[in-house]
């Protein structure tokens, strides 16, 4: 709000300086400069207060689960048809809750041109569903998906900091299509 008031004052002073004759121009320029300096000081003060408030608020917020840095960790999906997809991965290996669902662990990648999403739900969330999805990074269309929600077997295992999985991958997530067996290895 203070920025808006300062901006309006500056614009009004600048407009009045343009409409006055040359003798008042220097006086108006000084006034505009002083007003701009005051507005900048008010803005800086407001920004500092907002930053302080944000910092204070972050001290009271619960921390999100820490993700492993992308690029430092890798994930590979190998399909029996010869397709191999390699990713720089972000890993969350601790149990978390999202939208009321328990997630035991997840591995994601936002690489281009293919993204990866691996999720293992807890037993009380979607019956402990496991999912590996590969999708287009631009359109977000599913390219390949293996999911226990389709009624097919897929197994995800967390062993230390390694996630492995295997199952039938459906092209475009189409369960009417012929699946291709595949494997996942994520080194987190």
DSSP H/E element including 114: strand 114-121
Residue 134 reports pLDDT greater than 50: yes
Choice among 2-11, 85-94, 137-146, 175-184 with the minimum mean pLDDT: 2-11
Q: List, for residues 152-176, the tens digit of each pLDDT value.
A: 889 999 999 999 999 999 999 999 9
The full length of the chain comes to: 188
CA distance 130 to 118: 8
Q: List, for residues 20-60, the tens digit of each pLDDT value.
A: 444 444 444 444 444 444 444 444 443 444 333 333 433 43
Q: Specify which of 12-26, 39-53, 114-128 reaches the highest per-range mean pLDDT.
A: 114-128
Among 28, 114, 112, CA closest to 77: 114
């Amino acid at each position: 709000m203070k920025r808006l008031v300062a901006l309006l004052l500056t614009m009004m002073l600048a407009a009045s300086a343009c409409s006055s004759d040359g003798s008042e121009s220097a006086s108006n320029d000084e006034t505009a400069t002083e007003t701009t300096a005051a507005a900048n000081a008010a803005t800086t003060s407001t920004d500092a207060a907002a930053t302080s408030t944000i910092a204070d608020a972050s001290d009271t917020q619960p921390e999100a689960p820490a993700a492993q840095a992308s690029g430092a960790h890798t994930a590979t999906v190998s399909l029996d048809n010869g397709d191999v997809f390699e990713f720089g991965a972000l890993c969350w290996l601790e149990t978390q809750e999202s939208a009321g669902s328990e997630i035991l662990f997840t591995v994601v990648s936002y690489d281009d041109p293919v993204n990866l999403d691996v999720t293992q739900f807890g037993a009380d969330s979607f019956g402990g569903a496991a999912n590996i999805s590969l999708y287009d990074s631009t359109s977000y269309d599913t390219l390949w998906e293996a999911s226990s929600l389709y009624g097919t077997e897929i197994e995800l295992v967390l062993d230390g900091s390694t996630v492995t999985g295997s199952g039938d991958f459906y092209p475009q997530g189409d369960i009417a299509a012929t699946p291709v067996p595949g494997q996942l290895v994520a080194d987190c």
